Amino acid sequence: MPTTPKKKSSVAGLALLAAVALGACADTPPPALATVGGRAIVLGPEPGFDPTRLAPPWWRSPQHATNRFVPVDLEGRLVMRVDAASPNQSSTGTIGRQIDIPILSMPYLHWAWYLEPGLFAGGAGDGLDRGLRITVGFYGGHPRSPQITDRWFGGPDGMPAHDRRLDIAFGGIAQAYGENAAQHLTAISDQGVRQELRPPAFGQSGEWKLEALDIARLYGTFWPRDRLERVRIVFLGVGGLPGRAPVTTPPHPLGYVAELSLTR
């Protein structure tokens, strides 16, 4: 890795519609991931991958957001650069890949990422974390699945269908001088519940971080009453955090992500 950068009849109708929708989804599952040595690579990125021309099983959220993702070669290794949001965007958005893997068959999530040091100096004083995030979508464990009607046909802003979601965020709040900014690693549920995975510390930007996370265990801490044996990982994605980076031309990179994968 490089070292630099309701009526009863209505209810019955909804139930029938759900069965039809789920049946349709079952007919067109995402392609199986290639597995080498027990590792399934979700986002390399692979040579030739073009974030401006996504096709299934790839997706973007929001669907028509300006692209902020650029594959780049760093010392012979392809990585994904994530640029700051454009002025007319509230965030970078997310790009991801739809998959279908039982969480207990591949419970370990691995990836590498790098935060740009200049991201944490000056700019908008909005008090929000700047940095990167991995988003993980799940389906099947929620006690009410598939009765969660607002997610039969996909999640918010074009995300694939899911009943639970976690964001793994790596970043921090900017300071007048970047060396005074601390960064931390946090898991955040789609309901806004947070769990600190690595406490705030100085000097975490400007170097590659290799991460390994037991997402089956993490899922269980957030939703202990769910049916873990039925949970499937249905997508993985990458994006930026909501804090506004300093305005520059060209846009300031938030950082880089590489080798997002699952293992047994």
Query: Could you report the per-residue pLDDT of 136-191, keeping only the tens digit for each?
Result: 999 999 988 765 544 545 566 788 989 999 999 999 999 988 889 999 999 999 99
pLDDT at 82: 96
Query: Which tens digits make up the pLDDT trace of 45-101?
Result: 999 999 999 999 999 999 888 899 999 999 889 999 999 887 777 788 999 999 999
String of b and e for 55-73 (b: at least 16 CB within 10 Å)?
A: eebbbbbeeebebbbbbee
Asked if residue 228 is part of any domain, the answer here is: yes
Sign of CA dihedral 158, 162, 163, 164: negative
pLDDT at 187: 98
CATH code of the domain covering residue 167: 2.60.120
Residue of higher predicted confidence among 168 and 27: 168
Mean pLDDT (whole number) for 104-117: 96
Asked if residue 54 is part of any domain, the answer here is: yes
pLDDT at 155: 60
pLDDT at 85: 86
Asked if residue 43 is part of any domain, the answer here is: yes
Residue of higher predicted confidence among 247 and 170: 170
- Sequence-separated (6 or more) residues with CB below 8 Å from residue 112: 1, 79, 208, 209, 210, 211, 257, 258, 259
What is the extent of the structural domain holding 27?
8-263
Number of domains in the chain: 1
- Using the predicted structure, report yes or no on whether residue 20 has a pLDDT greater than 50: no
Asked if residue 3 is part of any domain, the answer here is: no
Residue type at position 97? R
Asked if residue 2 is part of any domain, the answer here is: no
